[in-house]
Structure 1
Amino acid sequence: MGLDGSGRLYIPVTRTIKASLLFFLFSLCASAIVVTHQVRSQAPPPAPHELFAAVEKQLAALRAADYSSAYRHAASGVQQKFTAPQFEAMIRHDYGDMMNAQRVEFGSVKVSGSTAVVQVFFRGAGGSARSFLYSLIAEDNSWKINGVQLMESVPYESQLTGLHI
Structure 2
Amino acid sequence: MRRILLALSLSAGLATGAFAQSTEIEANIAAQIQAFKADDFATAFTFASPNIQSIFRTPENFGNMVRNGYPMVWRPSDIRFLELREIAGALWQKVLIVDGAGQTHILDYQMIQLENDWKINGVQLLGNSDPAA
Higher strand share: 2
Q: In the alignment, is residue 102 of structure 1 matched against residue 61 of structure 2?
A: no
Identical aligned pairs, as a percentage? 24
Equivalent residues of 1:116, 1:136 under 8 A apart: yes
Q: In the alignment, is residue 67 of structure 1 matched against residue 37 of structure 2?
A: no
Q: 2:23 aligns with which of 29, 49, 57?
A: 49
Structure 1 residues not aligned, in runs of 5+: 1-43, 159-165
Separation in 1, partners of 2:79, 2:29: 10
Q: 1:82 aligns with which of 44, 48, 56?
A: 56
Give the TM-score normalised by the residue count of structure 2: 0.77
Q: What is the SS of the residue equivalent to 1:47?
A: helix
Q: How many residues align?
A: 115
Q: 1:113 to 1:130 in 2, by over 3 A?
A: closer
Higher helix share: 2
Alignment partner, residue 126 of structure 2: 151
RMSD: 2.1
> Where does structure 1 differ by over 4 angstroms across 4 or more consecutive aligned residues?
none
C-alpha distance after superposition, 1:2-52 (max 9, x if no partner): xxxxxxxxxxxxxxxxxxxxxxxxxxxxxxxxxxxxxxxxxx555311110
Give the TM-score normalised by the residue count of structure 1: 0.63
Alignment partner, residue 120 of structure 1: 95
Alignment partner, residue 116 of structure 2: 141
* Higher Rg: 1
Q: What is the SS of the residue equivalent to 2:76?
A: coil
